[in-house]
Amino acid sequence: MPPAKKRTRSYDSARTRAAVLAQFGHVREAVGALTSAQLAGPTRLGDWTVRDLAAHLAWMVDSVPLLLAEPEPAPGKDRLALLDWPFVTAGAAGRIDTHTRGIDAADLPGLYARVAEDYGRALADAPDGRLLPVRFGPMTLGDFLVTRTVELVVHTDDLNAATGAEIPFDRQALAACTRLLADALAAKAPGGAVEVRVPPYAVVQCVEGPRHTRGTPPNVVETDPLTWIRLAAGRTRWAAELDAAHVRASGERADLTDLLPLMG
């Protein structure tokens, strides 16, 4: 597992909590409008149908109240750092697939309504520092909510790709997702030789080599938030996005092929 940076970006708790609910609300509205034929259609996630993907999205939010209902882990137990979370997700692919297929998704509107209600009720009095028994290691509620923005944004994009629904992205959810994945890249390849820019949300330096201190950096990568998220989540490849001019890279070190994706 790549070492996390010593200094982790801070996230505004109120905004993150609201962002999760807002993005889930966008998804809920879109899923409620899908036809049976659309729900039975394929996705880019193996043999998952759109209904499977919709069920998984509900579970990603439902995991918050479910974990809050569990006993709090002992304070001394090793915690999972927020910047390490993207790198451990691949190891849970089989378990996630099994759980998703076991969700009763016959009544998606009812499922989404119940999840939204449970989320709001569970968070009403829950402090950010409350430890959750996440399978990969205990995480604070505040950190875990940031990971929910990643799950929601990545899978909203999957849902849009599968259905053409054009579900909007909550600005705060998109920002948190972009920043966490940018910071994870810097943790995976620490250094200052390359500056990665994902305006308007993130700028990080990474890759070993001469550190840039002033003027225009010699090695620069710039892209938009959704392209960056797709690269980090393995939904697209570096060469394809470079060829499509969705990524601009200058300098001999500005090639992130071997560092992507960050998530499995």
Tell me what pLDDT residue 41 has. Answer: 98
Sorted by where each begins, the domain ranges of the chain are 13-171, 189-259
- Span 111-123, pLDDT tens digits: 999 999 999 999 9
Residue 260 scores a pLDDT above 90: yes
Whole-number average pLDDT of the chain: 94
Fold match, 13-171 / 189-259: no
Outline where 40-137 has alpha helix (H): 50-68, 85-88, 93-101, 108-123
At residue 8 the predicted structure's pLDDT band, cuts being 50, 70 and 90, is confident
Tell me what pLDDT residue 5 has. Answer: 43
- Span 181-229, pLDDT tens digits: 999 999 999 999 999 999 999 999 999 987 656 667 789 999 999 999 9
For residue 105, CA distances in Å to 54, 60, 120 come to 8, 14, 21
Token code pair at residue 217? 């950096």
Average pLDDT over residues 159-174: 98
- Span 17-57, pLDDT tens digits: 999 999 999 999 999 999 999 999 999 999 999 999 999 99
Average pLDDT over residues 118-146: 96
Query: Could you give the CA distance from residue 236 to residue 260 in angstroms, rounded to a whole number?
Result: 10
| CATH fold group of domain 13-171 | Four Helix Bundle (Hemerythrin (Met), subunit A) (1.20.120)
At residue 91 the predicted structure's pLDDT band, cuts being 50, 70 and 90, is confident
Tell me what pLDDT residue 7 has. Answer: 62
3-state secondary structure 203-258: EEEECCCCCCCCCCCCCEEEECHHHHHHHHCCCCCHHHHHHCCCEEEECCCCCCHH
Residue 235 scores a pLDDT above 70: yes
| CATH fold group of domain 189-259 | Nonspecific Lipid-transfer Protein; Chain A (3.30.1050)
Parallel, antiparallel, or unpaired: how do β-strands 194-198 and 220-223 relate?
parallel
Parallel, antiparallel, or unpaired: how do β-strands 139-140 and 194-198 relate?
unpaired
